[in-house]
Amino acid sequence: MAEDDTRSLAEAADLAAQLRVDSIRASTSSGSGHPTSSLSAADLLAVLVLRHLRYDWNHPSTATNDHLIYSKGHASPLVYSVLRATGQISEEELLTGYRRFGQRLQGHPTPVLPWVDVATGSLGQGLPDGVGIALAGKYLEKLPYRVWVLCGDSEMAEGSIWEALDKASHYELGNLVVIVDVNRLGQRGATALGWDLDAYARRTEAFGARVLTVDGHDLAAIDAALHDVDSGQDDRPTVILARTVKGKGVAEVEDSPDWHGKPLPGDLAEEAIEALGGVREMTVTSIAPPQAESVEGPAESPAESPATSSDTSSDTSSDTDPAATPDTGAGAEQHSSQPDAATATASSQRSGAVMPRYRHSDRVATRKAYGAALVALGEIDPLVVGLDAEVSNSTGAGAFAEAFPDRFFEMFIAEQQLIAAATGMAVRGFKPFASTFAAFLSRAFDFIRMGAITGADLRIVGSHAGVEIGADGPSQMALEDLAMMRSVLGSTVLYPSDAPSTVALVAQMADIGGISYLRTTRGSYPVIYGPAEEFPIGGSKILRSNGMDDVTVVGAGVTVHECIGAADLLAREGIGARVIDCYSVKPIDVDTLAEAVRHTGGRLVIAEDHHPEGGLGEAVIAALTDVEDVGALSVRHLAVRDLPGSGTAAELLEAAGLSAGRIARAARELFDERDAEHDAQGNVR
């Protein structure tokens, strides 16, 4: 940092007062928000943005810009006050746009604003996301930016904070600086540790951080700590513990447990603003980020950074385009990210012969096919990154880890950090594929949900789905994951039945916007499709049909094989089954499904290795209900309705009613019923 870029501590005091005044004004104007949580951190932010944050505010997409993440997202009045001080939003927007309908200054910050990397507001997520960005900066982009994260003290109770610090020290993220605003008060009262900064210091130090403790309202002390960061970083992440006072600067609310999330009433706000010296018009100027060339890269850097061959890391620090957008590809409105040049090239190459191929005689687990496909993708697309939560030898990701050790990140058994790291990498323009057992993705649901609000393009892969896994028992069986992933805003949910369809879907995942999910199976099953077959997202495949079908039988993943078996059984009895492989669960191929049930008199059997709620069955039924001329349906919905135990895959599928025999029986029942109805009306079928 060049000293002449920066401004004096007297100016920082002025800025801190302005941030306080503006935080009060924004929240009082909207009658909603968290001013006291903003006031405690105003001094910290004033010194940071005025003297240490290397950030070109006019060009937030600048590759070497530092990153500033508000993990305590409820301090949004402070976030927006900083943006006004940096000239990015107007006073009018601050006073009329905060927390209002249709406005971008939302209750908690989201990447609708180009200066915001990730949506926060679910506590304990900003830091894990920041670890993801810091991983990208150090190992993938090799850029000299730093990642600053402002945490609240309450959120230090979240386990995800400790997963993040654990990984930050394991991966030697000296580029990560965490500032903890220890104002001792949570929403409903005191935190468990209060102002015991020593306790926080012991914990963060034990987790491998370099820890600095400061009075969070002593500008010189704050500055000294941040200067220490500027000049003295090693390979440890830095944690700055700042003792602060909630509501600092407004005597009436200081250190009071009764003022969380409450704007000051108009008269109190006026007095407070007066006492703070009134409205100011100070402007923060950018501190130029360093040129990428100036970075002293770690000697142990991987040889070739994927990012250096893409526009993600192009030197845009001299970028003068005022319309520059963030380089995240994310943003709440942007679920379909624009493919960049590198992606477009990769996409076109993807149609080539590099993807793995399988023969009809092969028996292959889709989780293995996933690994093979990811390796192939890695060859042609330098932005593809792999992450796994200590089960890469089971999920298939191990093949990628072996082929591309520089682009694979072991997150150990920490599923929240797994998804957060992927989110941070996606924010930086990479294409993370994050895998673990599908059952354990439930650990990270809140992170996936918030990833959707961030608008991050996350590829998530869950293996060992359903009772099919067999002997390991119910703790390892994902039976809720389709419901979970379908419920995520804008998500894509894929569930292939064989190796070629897996490969085709994984290839497309590289280019899907938003949250995409691939569900894979433990066991090895026959290859169904030829290598030239295409599997468009939102499509399906008709696997059995003779034009005279009597019943529609729908499966996905492992049940497709059982549905084929059921069709064979039914054929012997003269019943024609149209078997549909619903490999795209969301979006679902409603046209093919509607055509099938029209053709088969509304008779429909659906078989899924999942609980009955929220999965394939409800997806199919809900989609058909949207079609006006489908008519009445006669449905048998086969799903896992009881608690399974251990057993073989065959035993457990049979017990759950998902075997070929049970599917055929369900289909047969639809005819028996129809017969019974006809009988009641004096007719015969």
| Positions marked active-site | 415
Contact residue for its own copies among 252, 315, 402, 613 (CB under 8 A): 613
The residues in 110-169 that bind its own copies, with binding defined as CB under 8 A, are 110, 112, 119-124, 154-155, 157-163, 166
Q: Determine the interface stretch with its own copies among 2-10, 37-45, 308-316, 610-618 (rule: CB under 8 A).
A: 610-618
d(CA 154, CA 44): 17
Name which of 374 and 450 has its Cβ closer to its own copies: 450
Q: Mask of contacts with its own copies, 459-488, x by CB under 8 A? A: -----------xxxxxxx--xx--xx-xxx
Does position 192 interact with its own copies (CB under 8 A)? The reply is yes
Which of 278, 297, 538, 645 binds its own copies (CB under 8 A)? It is 645
Mark the segment that binds its own copies (CB under 8 A) among 13-21, 53-61, 304-312, 644-652.
Answer: 644-652
C-alpha span between 262 and 271 (Å, rounded): 16
Helix (H, G, I), strand (E, B) or coil at 447: helix
**End-to-end Cα separation, the chain, in angstroms:** 86
Q: C-beta of 547: minimal distance to its own copies in Å?
A: 24
In whole angstroms, the minimum distance from the beta carbon of 174 to its own copies comes to 17
> Using the 8-state DSSP alphabet, how is residue 530 labeled?
-
Which one of residues 87, 266, 536, 631 is an interface residue with its own copies (CB under 8 A)?
631
Size of the site for its own copies (CB under 8 A): 116
CB of 123 to its own copies, least distance (A): 5
Is the distance from CB of 553 to CB of 580 less than 8 angstroms? Answer: yes
Which residues are CB-neighbours of 14 under 8 A, at least 6 positions away?
Answer: 280, 282
Residues between 162 and 191 with contacts to its own copies, criterion CB under 8 A:
162-163, 166, 170, 186-188, 191
What residue has token string 């796994």? Answer: 388
- Is there binding between residue 108 and its own copies (CB under 8 A)? yes
Distance CA 436, CA 186 (A): 34
| Contacting residues for 542 by C-beta, under 8 A, at least 6 apart | 578, 579, 580, 581, 592, 596
DSSP state of 213: E
Q: What's the alpha-carbon Rg for the chain, to the nearest Å?
A: 28
- Near its own copies in 275-314, by CB under 8 A: none
Q: Using the rule CB under 8 A, is 224 a contact of its own copies?
A: no
Helix (H) or strand (E) holding 603: strand 603-607
Site for its own copies in 577-596 (CB under 8 A): 586
The candidate with the shortest Cα–Cα distance to 577, out of 559, 596, 590, 595, is 596
Does residue 633 touch its own copies according to CB under 8 A?
A: yes
Stretch of residues binding its own copies (CB under 8 A), selected from 375-383, 450-458, 543-551, 558-566: 450-458
CA 283/CA 10 separation, integer angstroms = 14
Q: Which one of the spans 39-47, 312-320, 356-364, 439-447 is the region binding its own copies (CB under 8 A)? A: 439-447
Residue 116 CB, nearest approach to its own copies (Å): 12
Of the two residues 452 and 506, which places its CB atom closer to its own copies in the complex?
452
Q: Which stretch binds its own copies (CB under 8 A): 366-374, 423-431, 552-560, 625-633?
A: 625-633
- Provide the minimum distance between the beta carbon of 638 and its own copies in the complex, in angstroms, as a whole number: 13
3-class SS at 551?
A: strand
For residue 648, give every residue at least 6 positions away whose Cβ sits within 8 Å of its Cβ, in sequence order, or none.
470, 471
Query: Residue 578 or 637: which CB sits closer to its own copies?
Result: 637
Alpha carbon distance 567, 94 (integer Å): 64
Residues in 362-401 at the binding interface with its own copies, rule: CB under 8 A? 390-394, 398
Instruction: Identify which of 358, 262, 331 has the alpha carbon closest to the alpha carbon of residue 104.
Output: 331
Q: Is residue 72 at the binding interface for its own copies, with CB under 8 A as the rule?
A: no
Which stretch in 268-276, 317-325, 517-525, 645-653 sits in contact with its own copies by CB under 8 A?
Answer: 645-653
Looking up tokens 């900003």 gives 126
Taking the least distance from each CB to its own copies, the nearer of 99 and 544 is 99
What phi, psi does 589 have (nearest 5°)?
Answer: -85, 80
**Shortest CA distance to 98 belongs to which of 249, 263, 273?**
263
* Cis peptide preceding 644, ω within 30 of 0: no
Name the minimum Å distance from CB 47 to its own copies: 27
Binding mask 16-55 for its own copies (x = CB under 8 A): --------------x-xx----------------------
Closest CA to 168 of 176, 156, 159, 179: 176
Which of 103, 301, 314, 338 is the binder for its own copies (CB under 8 A)?
103
CB of 470 to its own copies, least distance (A): 8
Residue 226 or 493: which CB sits closer to its own copies?
493
8 Å CB contact between 379 and 354? yes
Residue 43's H or E segment, with its range, is helix 42-51
- For the window 325-364, what string marks contact with its own copies as x by the rule CB under 8 A? -------xx-------------------------------
Q: Which stretch binds its own copies (CB under 8 A): 93-101, 322-330, 341-349, 365-373?
A: 93-101
Count Cα neighbours of 466 within 13 Å in the Cβ-side half-sphere.
33
Which one of 237, 249, 289, 615 is in contact with its own copies (CB under 8 A)?
615
What tokens were used for 385?
């990154």
Q: What single string gives the DSSP state of each residue in 359-408?
A: -TT-EEEHHHHHHHHHHHHHHH-TTEEEEESS-HHHHSHHHHHHH-GGGE
Based on the shown chain and the rule CB under 8 A, indicate whether residue 632 belongs to the binding site for its own copies.
yes
